[in-house]
Amino acid sequence: MQAAAVAQVEALPRLGARLSTDPQSADLIIDALVGYSIRGDPSGRAGELICWANDTSAPTLALDLPSGLDPTTGAPGTPTVTADATLTLALPKRGLYLEPSLVGDLYLGDIGVPAQAYRSLGLEVADPFGAGPVVWVPRDGLPAPQRDRR
């Protein structure tokens, strides 16, 4: 595990969160199992935890994209997390629009990417974070999220 991930895991108990590699129940599932570079179906322990999360009644928040979902094509792997909400980072990935039933409510989180970084890639991106560091991303035909869904 990289140093940044270790620091984040070590911070969880100080925030009152209980962390388990063998969960039995949960009030909230935070899915960060498989990252952007996924190739093929999730397997091993990651695949087992995805199945567990999908069989649990607790709400699931996916970080960046639901584990198992291809970020570009939106093709779901076997298995893929079915998220109640997804907090994607920097810019939404194309695949998040192609499988909305797996993504849930979509939010965009500011991770401080400077506008110059986008311009250097030939992208002109308007700053979406005028309303705060996390914003809801509207998608065609999908309603705005409800504040208390459970």
Domain chopping of the chain, boundaries: 3-136
How far is it, in rounded angstroms, from Cα 132 to Cα 96?
21
Choice among 48-57, 96-105, 107-116, 138-147 with the minimum mean pLDDT: 138-147
How far is it, in rounded angstroms, from Cα 85 to Cα 96?
11
What are 31's strand-pairing partners? 62
pLDDT of the residue at 8: 82
pLDDT of the residue at 15: 87
Reported for 45-48, long-range contacts at CB under 8 A and 24+ positions apart, including other chains, are 47/79
Pairing relation of β-strands 60-63 and 85-89?
A: parallel
Architecture of domain 3-136: 3-Layer(aba) Sandwich (3.40)
Q: Which two tokens mark 49?
A: 């935890």
Give tens-digit pLDDT for 131-146: 889 999 887 755 566 5
